[in-house]
Chains A and B, each alone.
Chain A
Amino acid sequence: MTSNINLKINGARYAFSVRDDETLLELLRTRVGLTGVKKACDAIGECGACTVLVGGRAIYSCLYPALRADGAEIVTIEGLAVDGGLNPIQESFLKLGAIQCGFCTPGMILSTQALLEENPEASVQDIHDALSGNLCRCTGYEKIIEAIMMAKQTYAKPVSRRG
């Protein structure tokens, strides 16, 4: 069975005919070519590398039927940069060295984006909670948490708030 859906991905409009069992991960990676959406477990919700934003919420795209995204606005890591510059989270990850191999990075940044958009005052505990579904094997998390705390300052100030 296939169905027709309309999506907005990183600001651009798309129409697809999707299989019932097609995941958003599959659609984004193989049909739209957004390979910044990663997969680090067997697409069973254990790694968070596939995290994308659907309507501003961070979801595991590997468990999310593409069909369900009909009409939604989707943001992947490729769509996060603003006006050719980096988003504040991207910038702080870069500056503080919260990246090593970078494979977990897109998911980490998008989970953070969803958190800070919803709660610009997020505490360290909130950050741990928000990242509990995102695995990193390289960094030991410390610099990631630091980077998020740094990015948070930008989100807390409405003037410079973006995104």
Chain B
Amino acid sequence: MSVLESIYERDRLEVVGHRVPRLDGIEKVTGTAQYTTDIELPKMLYGQTLKSPYPHAVIKSIDISQAQSLPGVICVITGGDIPNNNRVMGITVSDQSILSADRVRFVGDEIAAVAAIDEKTAEKAVSLIRVEYQPLPAVFSADRAMTKDAFLVHDFAKSNVGSSKQVVAQDVEEGFSEADVIVEDTFLTSPIEHAPMETEAVVSSYDGSNLKVWSTTQVPYWDRVVLSRMLGIPQHRVRVITPHVGGGFGGRDLFTLLYICAALAWRVGGSRPVKMVRTREEEFTCSTNRHSMQIRIKLGAKKEGLLTAMQGKAIIDAGAFVGWAEALGQAQGHLFASRYKCENIKWEHYTVYTNNTPGGPMRGFGNGELSFALESMMDQLARELLIDPIKLRRMNIVKQGYVTPIGWNLKGCHLDECVDRVAEYFRAKRIELQQTNANSRFKRGIGFACGSHWCGWRPGYNARIWRTGYAKPEELYAANPSSPYVFVGENGKVQWRAGFDSELYDADPSSCILNISDDGTATVHIGEVDMGQGLYTTIAMIVSEETGIKLEDINVVGGDTNSGAFGIGTFASRSTYIAGNAALKAAKKAKEILFDLASDMLNAPTDQLKAADGKIFLRSYPERSVFIADVALRAYATRRGGGIMVSSFHDPDSVLPDSNGKGSIAEAYLFFAQGVEVEVDIETGIVRVLEVVSCHDVGKVINPIEAEGQVQGSVHQGIGHALTEEVIRQKGRIQNPNFLNYVIPPSVQMPKVKIMFVEKSETSGPLGAKGIGEPAMVGIAPAIANAIYDAVGIRMKTLPMGPEKVLAELQNTGSHEKL
């Protein structure tokens, strides 16, 4: 690097890396931020749905006549009123309709919807709908559902196993035959609820040709596709807008209410808005919960500690519909094969239909459950081998440059540093604890977990389902013979039209449209949504860093499909990394235009210019400067100008899994190590988390405030998953759909969280960044379980690890002594 370059380098990051308060913070602390729940419009109607009281029943008839004639009721719809009711919701299988028309499969399954002049009238109308049900046998556990004589949840499937797949590398049996020690056990996790503070809310209206939807969605463009298919309205006539959102955590990824409300508004017509807001109880019972799972893990290792074989099997209770469950099982296979170096891998996953509330993705997407099982087993293996659990992990973890057996190409990986830093943090404490525990009723212990996660994800949707809802042309033709996508060939066979032949949607894209106005302020459109994580501030910081436009002069507008900035959505810890890259690309283009004009004004070549703090100046002589506002004016007000309107598209260099499910599904990966100190009361079984240390390989941190916030919030949810949260169902009916009986840990139960970032710049990331949305939730449950073992010598295998379970396990073991 030349002297001059190092001078340029000196003040490189003006904005990124600084603690910037979120740009929407003022609205939020003054109460002016408008959420979907707050929208009130003239001539607004209010919607409500009729839900199944049965876990499984045939709908013999639906009579809406009484409801329809109730004064104040404008519209009542059932499944038959929605043009494409059946084929629009599936991710890997089309098994779910918007409104169930002939059969209900869980308590809360929605059958009809009403729009009325006020909420009370809508509720009254719902109570007047008469449905004749014929109850069917129902099944509430995956184990039971998999037995041969179990009643089928879906007739089209030959069994309740919606899908069963494998991920295999090398030869696991041979791996086990080489092992000196083998450990094997089964772990169970409970369903939990996303519980964002704002419940699902939707407002929709239709003017005869344009459909408008405001909602709490995290995937507006995805919803636009579904709405377009559902109602047969082309995408340019469908507008999905996401105002401020009160949290999501994955729960707005299969958003039935959004589609129901839009269908109602479409039927009502006349630009009359319909508003629907879930009650908290409905949020638990009608929309998805995190899946419950059974995971069996078998590990083999040499006596020195090196893994020789890893085998795992997940049985996922999908509930009434597959939804994301099959993709989740596959994702777990990827995670299973990408944490420790081991060539012999076998992962099987079964997605099982039951008559429970449908499962849905939630922060971590199966990684929390997988890690609970795998990291507990690593601990167990360490005990069997008499090796320190950290040392065992350190010996086996993946390193930079490694290509995992499932195909992940770990170009930037600092898992080793994460593990070392967490170990170091607790080193003295671990020694101290060995002395203090002996005679106390309160036993303390320390546990660890580590792992990997993706940063974006290229799963490969079926492009034909994406566009039409159907995988086979005959089926589409049968449902809609006039569909433009199919035709009947000369041989009488139904075929896809020529050119519509791509098998998979092979992309993980985001885009950005950036306009700089003639006063030098910028409007940045992205497709993703700020669910509260601070994405818009992050994007503004990236644009500000690159263009020199001041932060307060940048307005980031996300989640409005009319902006045209396509983004596949906010999930998979992808937004900062992928949408951030799109924003950076756009910013670079805009900067080029600015510099081109400024070079005339400053009479200097563009490569000698730098932009910061609202000005463009000479790198070597910063006093010679022009205001960006004055440069921007030239772009619009002079013949030479041409405006400053640029766009960009970013698709990471990731690889679609092949037919064996292998491929580097992300371009960059996240790594973490977490450690936890707990105190177990052996009289009551109560586990208290005293301290958490959470270390993350995240690339360059764009905004430390928000990155820390993601870790703290994730740790909080991880503690909930580990210790207190459980959706309790009895015969498919949720027993605790409220915050009194569903316990989110209160502030007083939150331990101190020591946060560490390993900030090694990621070459493929925007200004070096990766992501941080999910991983801090992932290692908490296993770290707590391992800490409990460390404290009292019991191996907890079921989540949540409530006091009764801990006590029972203590009594089982018959010993309170620390091993």
Chain B interface, number of residues (Cβ within 8 angstroms): 55
CB pair A81–B30 under 8 Å, yes or no, is yes
Q: Which of A81, A102, A141 contacts B246 (CB 8 A)?
A: A102
Encode contact with A along B58-100: 1 for CB under 8 Å, 0 otherwise. Answer: 0000000000000000000000000000000000000000000
CB pair A103–B198 under 8 Å, yes or no, is yes
CB pair B31–A145 under 8 Å, yes or no, is no
Q: Which of B531, B706, B740, B746 contacts A101 (CB 8 A)?
A: B531
CA distance A143 to B705 in the complex (A): 9
Rounded to whole Å, the gap between the CB of B220 and the closest CB of chain A is 17
Rounded to whole Å, the gap between the CB of B685 and the closest CB of chain A is 23
CA distance A42 to B279 in the complex (A): 6
CB pair B21–A78 under 8 Å, yes or no, is no
Give the residues in chain A near B35, CB-CB below 8 Å: 35, 103
CA distance A49 to B249 in the complex (A): 19
Rounded to whole Å, the gap between the CB of B676 and the closest CB of chain A is 14
CB pair B532–A100 under 8 Å, yes or no, is yes
Whether, in the assembled complex, B664 has its beta carbon less than 8 Å from a beta carbon of chain A, the answer is no
Q: Kindly identify, within residues 199 to 257 of chain B, every residue whose CB is under 8 Å from any CB belonging to chain A.
A: 199, 244-247, 249
**CB nearest neighbor in A for B194:** A137
Whether, in the assembled complex, A71 has its beta carbon less than 8 Å from a beta carbon of chain B, the answer is no
Give the residues in chain B near A37, CB-CB below 8 Å: 31
CB pair A140–B716 under 8 Å, yes or no, is yes
Q: Which listed segment binds B: A1-9, A90-98, A154-162?
A: A90-98
Whether, in the assembled complex, B712 has its beta carbon less than 8 Å from a beta carbon of chain A, the answer is yes
CA distance A65 to B717 in the complex (A): 34
Give the residues in chain A near B750, CB-CB below 8 Å: 140-142
Q: Which of A38, A44, A104, A144 contacts B738 (CB 8 A)?
A: A44
Whether, in the assembled complex, B803 has its beta carbon less than 8 Å from a beta carbon of chain A, the answer is no
CB pair B281–A42 under 8 Å, yes or no, is yes
Q: Which of B37, B38, B709, B739 contacts A138 (CB 8 A)?
A: B709
Give the residues in chain B near A129, CB-CB below 8 Å: 748
Q: Which of A42, A90, A100, A138 contacts B280 (CB 8 A)?
A: A42
CA distance A41 to B199 in the complex (A): 9
**CB nearest neighbor in A for B737:** A42
CB pair B29–A40 under 8 Å, yes or no, is no
The secondary structure that dominates the A interface is loop
Known A-B contacts A97-B706, A135-B197; the reply to A103 vs B29 at CB < 8 A is no
Give the residues in chain B near A119, CB-CB below 8 Å: none
Whether, in the assembled complex, B488 has its beta carbon less than 8 Å from a beta carbon of chain A, the answer is no
Whether, in the assembled complex, B715 has its beta carbon less than 8 Å from a beta carbon of chain A, the answer is yes
CB pair A144–B246 under 8 Å, yes or no, is no
Give the residues in chain B near A100, CB-CB below 8 Å: 247, 532-534, 709, 713
Q: Which of B38, B40, B197, B753 contacts A142 (CB 8 A)?
A: B753
Give the residues in chain B near A23, CB-CB below 8 Å: none
CB pair A106–B249 under 8 Å, yes or no, is no
CA distance A145 to B22 in the complex (A): 18
CB pair B747–A46 under 8 Å, yes or no, is no
CA distance A143 to B711 in the complex (A): 11
Known A-B contacts A106-B31, A138-B532; the reply to A96 vs B705 at CB < 8 A is yes
Encode contact with B along A80-118: 1 for CB under 8 Å, 0 otherwise. Answer: 110000100011011111011111111001000000000
Known A-B contacts A40-B199, A41-B739, A101-B246; the reply to A93 vs B29 at CB < 8 A is yes
CB pair A143–B246 under 8 Å, yes or no, is no
**CB nearest neighbor in B for A104:** B197
CB pair A90–B197 under 8 Å, yes or no, is no
Give the residues in chain A near B687, CB-CB below 8 Å: none
CA distance A135 to B22 in the complex (A): 21
Q: Kindly identify, within residues 1 to 50 of chain B, every residue whose CB is under 8 Å from any CB belonging to chain A.
A: 19, 21-22, 24-35, 37-38, 40
Whether, in the assembled complex, B526 has its beta carbon less than 8 Å from a beta carbon of chain A, the answer is no
Whether, in the assembled complex, B556 has its beta carbon less than 8 Å from a beta carbon of chain A, the answer is no
Give the residues in chain A near B598, CB-CB below 8 Å: none
CA distance A99 to B534 in the complex (A): 9
CB pair B21–A95 under 8 Å, yes or no, is yes
Whether, in the assembled complex, A58 has its beta carbon less than 8 Å from a beta carbon of chain B, the answer is no
Q: Which of A36, A80, A137 contacts B744 (CB 8 A)?
A: A137
CA distance A81 to B752 in the complex (A): 31
Rounded to whole Å, the gap between the CB of B470 and the closest CB of chain A is 37
Whether, in the assembled complex, A17 has its beta carbon less than 8 Å from a beta carbon of chain B, the answer is no
**17 A-B interface contacts by CB (under 8 A):** A35-B31, A78-B30, A78-B32, A86-B29, A90-B29, A90-B30, A97-B705, A97-B706, A99-B22, A100-B532, A101-B244, A101-B245, A103-B196, A104-B197, A131-B747, A140-B715, A142-B752
Q: Residues on B close to A: CB < 8 A?
A: 19, 21-22, 24-35, 37-38, 40, 195-199, 244-247, 249, 279-281, 531-534, 705-706, 708-709, 712-717, 738-740, 744, 746-748, 750, 752-753
Q: Residues on A close to B: CB < 8 A?
A: 30, 33-42, 44, 46-47, 49, 76-78, 80-81, 86, 90-91, 93-97, 99-106, 109, 125, 127-129, 131-132, 135-145
Closest 3 CB pairs of A and B: A36-B31, A101-B532, A102-B28
